[in-house]
Structure 1
Amino acid sequence: MTVAEPTTDGTYRDRIVAVEPGGNEHIAEADRHGKPHQLFWTWTSPNLEFATIFVGMLSVLAFGMTFWQAVAGIVVGTGLGAIAHYFLSARGPLHGVPQMVLGRLPFGFKGNAVPAVLMSITAGVGWFATNSVSGAFALSTLFGFGPLIGLVIIVLLQTALAFFGHNLVQAFERFSFPVLAVIFLAASVMIFVHADIGNASVAAEGVGGLGGFLLTVGTSFGYAAGWTPYAADFTRYLPSSASPARTGFYAAAGLFTACVLLEVVGAAAVTTGEASLADPTGSFTAELASPLAKATLLAIAVGAIAANAINVYSGAMAFVTIGIRLPPHVARALVTVFFGVAGFIVAYLALPDAAHSYEAFLLIIAYWVGPWLGVVFADQYLRRGQAVAGFLYDRSYTNWNGLLSFAIGLIGSVVLFANQELFVGVIAKAVPQLGDITFFIGFVLAGGAYLLLCRSKIAAERTVTS
């Protein structure tokens, strides 16, 4: 059985200061607007923040890479994440639905609740808390009040943006882009002026070797690919006639440019000799002249808001996709407030030890995103050219082998290859120089399992719908 798509009513269009109605409905053509090039700042602005810089700092301080080794790992990991973002973003204008609604194809309506919940927690709570803390400390340092006051300010602003919804979030990313770009570019120039990029001694205490390189690839991939479960959320409002290639390109280019630039700057900052994981924000701005340091702290706060407006918006969107029945006109907006409160609580608890678990968090994102991408891309390959609209809102549609494939990829890769402080996989323990390649293995295992287990089902559906 196939079910007609619920659609928006054409009243939202390009209104900015208006609460986006509904939840996860298909976007009617009357509400479509915008051009693909706007996606460049949509995905640049939220990555012009300190969390991005910290990935680069980790590559040298924690993983033992020299500057140029870090650059190579950052480019590889971010490039892989950007490629995934390209293909998922490109689908938005054609289907006009959020990314997690498209996830009902490979997982079924009920099975899709598993990745949707994972995304809700990762985005609406995990990333929300991580970025809120960095923004709070930036405001605290800049204005001299306590971190808690800074946290309250940050949370209220970013939750308000997400509450109003898609158009206001997009507008904020657009107008914050030039401010963030200019400040971070100036800060980057000054960091490189003081950097000693040929200094290998700062990398002596890290993991080093192949393991350190793969950890760098893994964390930079986890950071970039962490946005992929949101991809279609911000392309679904484009007209259905929008070019998929241009849509994917601008989304991927914005993500890649911002992540690589600031992660490389983070790696360079470590070579100044001032960087510390105990006070990453303070040590990063220590080499900057006072006016630029203050401007950078302000940019860190604005960047945190830019990132979390997207995080809490899409986290709420994913939660609505689970299928819990809420008042349809305000479903997403109500859930946004819930995640704003939950994220605030987690961020408040994290204030005393903000940087402690960031490395583990990035890798854990990659643990589930890797097999999720494997299943999604395998399904996209098998369904190429197939009409899929009738399956997206059908509560009876199942694809349990898709969830099984995801579980095979996730569990198999973690048990064998995870390399965390609390758990080391069987192969990772035997061959520690591998570092952590869990996300690669998870992608391959899940994608391969899906191709084997679901090919006949999708072939049968293609026959029925053709």
Structure 2
Amino acid sequence: MEIERRSIDFIPEEERHGSPKSLFTVWFNANMTVVTLVTGALGVTMGLNLFWCFTAIILGNLIGGIFMASHSAQGPQLGIPQMIQSRAQFGVIGAIFPIILVILMYVGFMAANGLLEVDTIKAVLPVSSNSAIIIASILTLIVTFIGYDFIHSMAKYLSIFSALIFTAVTILIISQGFPAGAWSPTGGVNFGTFMLFLSIAAAWQITYAPYVADYARYLPSNTPAKQTFGYTYVGSVLGTVWMMLLGALLGAAIPDFMDNASVNIASLFGPYTLIVYIVIFTGLAAGNVLNLYGAFMSTTTFMISIKEFKVTKRIKFLILFLAMSAGATIQIFGQGNFMAYYSNLVLLLQYFLLPWTAINLVDYYVMRRGKYSIPDIFDKNGIYGRYNWTSLFTYAATILMELPFMTMSFYEGFVSKAMGGADITWVIALTVPGLLYYLLLKNKVKIQNDQTSDAVVKS
């Protein structure tokens, strides 16, 4: 298969191809992983019974998926990666501030996936943890280097294999016994814990926001936005809800499930554990391919914002290698502390990425209605300017406003404490910045819209 030659540049119409249906398998498969299972099992370890775990998982994903899939719909209309489009909101150079956070997100999730990959590899091969990290990193690097079309093709086949295995896991675990009161809606439930887990479930979907347009940008520009949204939403929400619910069941039925999730799942299959390990590993690897691909896009955007250069295949490989090495380094030093690392990572990303999501969506759907000047997005002296200090202020102010509502293992805001540990930060982060951005910048955006050149992509 041909190596992708495009990076962060605009995809011309003659190179557009594919169907929005492929977005279903990309996002369905992206969530068919042990990481998603572990996230679902977090609710049980936090003290919720299965009824309240299920409620939080379903509600959180249904809500969060709306924001995630709304970003996906931007891909065909604009034909550029998601984070470079942020230049229209923050300025061509100003966009590097949210981009830095997104790069940290990609590297962080690479490390989280990789820590679980290590357990899977070691269960099959007689290798050390560090060797397992290197093996997984090399495979991820190769697939990511090939690029967009290979990622879409791979997702189609892996979705089938993953669905078959996890259907069997679902049947096996349903036959297990569960603790008394596990399904009781009237059982003792802590409101703060429920809201915190609901926040984690919603954040799972919303943290995909910087990813999704990257995998839709090659679709023809006349692809209906409803189809792009719909296939992305259903694929991601269906895959995530299934895996999180299954993770909650596994966490409730197997007391030490979180200690080694991959091994505990494989042990359900007796002599067929090797097949299960292969499926688990490929699912984790596929997730890390998306993380590394996104890290490449965002890192390239960051670097080109500072100094213009041509992205050759050699430079592409170098950037991928550096990003992969960063993730592998975190894995090496993070072994043995997965749960503390992972739960804090998800919450921190939520606090920093949700204000960006709100600003981006308000700008795209409400203020510009999908109309952007693509040449100016690549021009430091264009209509979007070098810095948009008002939007940067809005972004920073929102993060400060979030502080009293935050809940993490090492910090709890005073509002969260007063609410018994409830985390409603995501509600603040999805409403306040969008409203501020609209009120403070509606006149400036109107002027930019009037200045938009003929080189425009309309939704």
TM-score (normalizing by structure 1):
0.90
Kept after mapping to 2: 8 A contact 1:218/1:437: yes
1:42-62 CA deviation, whole Å, 9 max, x = no partner? 111121110000011001112
Segment of structure 1 superposing worse, 210-219 or 305-314: 210-219
Q: Which amino acid aligns with 1:25?
A: D
3-state SS in 2 of match to 1:34: coil
1:183-229 CA deviation, whole Å, 9 max, x = no partner? 111112111111427643999x9x94211111111111222222110
3-state SS in 2 of match to 1:52: helix
Per-residue deviation, 1:385: 5.4
Segment of structure 1 superposing worse, 391-400 or 247-256: 391-400
Aligned in 2, Cα 1:440/1:296: closer, same or farther, shift over 3 Å? farther
Q: Which amino acid aligns with 1:432?
A: G
Counterpart for residue 175 of structure 2: 193
Equivalent of residue 412 in structure 1, options 386, 401, 420: 401
Segment of structure 1 superposing worse, 392-401 or 366-375: 392-401
Counterpart for residue 109 of structure 1: 92
3-state SS in 1 of match to 2:335: helix
Per-residue deviation, 1:102: 1.3
Equivalent of residue 28 in structure 1, options 7, 12, 23: 12
Counterpart for residue 371 of structure 2: 386
Per-residue deviation, 1:79: 1.4
Kept after mapping to 1: 8 A contact 2:355/2:434: yes
Equivalent of residue 72 in structure 1, options 52, 55, 65: 55
TM-score (normalizing by structure 2):
0.91
Per-residue deviation, 1:144: 4.3
Mapped pair 1:85 → 2:68: yes
1:35-434 superposed matches below 5 A: 35-62=19-46, 64-123=47-106, 125-196=107-178, 199-200=181-182, 208-286=189-267, 288-322=268-302, 323-325=305-307, 326-330=309-313, 331-380=315-364, 381-384=366-369, 386-396=371-381, 397=385, 398-413=387-402, 415-433=403-421
Aligned in 2, Cα 1:164/1:257: closer, same or farther, shift over 3 Å? same
1:295-353 CA deviation, whole Å, 9 max, x = no partner? 33222211111101011001110111122444323344431111111111111112233
1:403-444 CA deviation, whole Å, 9 max, x = no partner? 11111212211x2111112111121123324x2122221222
Kept after mapping to 2: 8 A contact 1:81/1:221: yes
3-state SS in 2 of match to 1:336: helix
Q: Which runs of 5+ in 1 are unaligned?
A: 1-16
The count of corresponding residues between Structure 1 and Structure 2 is 444
Aligned in 2, Cα 1:85/1:346: closer, same or farther, shift over 3 Å? same
3-state SS in 1 of match to 2:407: coil
3-state SS in 2 of match to 1:271: helix
Kept after mapping to 2: 8 A contact 1:367/1:439: yes
Which segments of structure 1 move beyond 6 Å, counting only runs of 4 or more? none
Q: Which runs of 5+ in 2 are unaligned?
A: 454-459
Kept after mapping to 2: 8 A contact 1:36/1:238: yes
3-state SS in 2 of match to 1:432: coil
Identity of aligned residues (%): 25
Per-residue deviation, 1:146: 2.9
3-state SS in 2 of match to 1:289: helix
Equivalent of residue 2 in structure 2, options 18, 27, 45: 18
1: CA distance, partners of 2:327 / 2:224? 36
2: CA distance, partners of 1:284 / 1:392? 47
2: CA distance, partners of 1:418 / 1:190? 38
Per-residue deviation, 1:268: 0.8
3-state SS in 1 of match to 2:175: helix
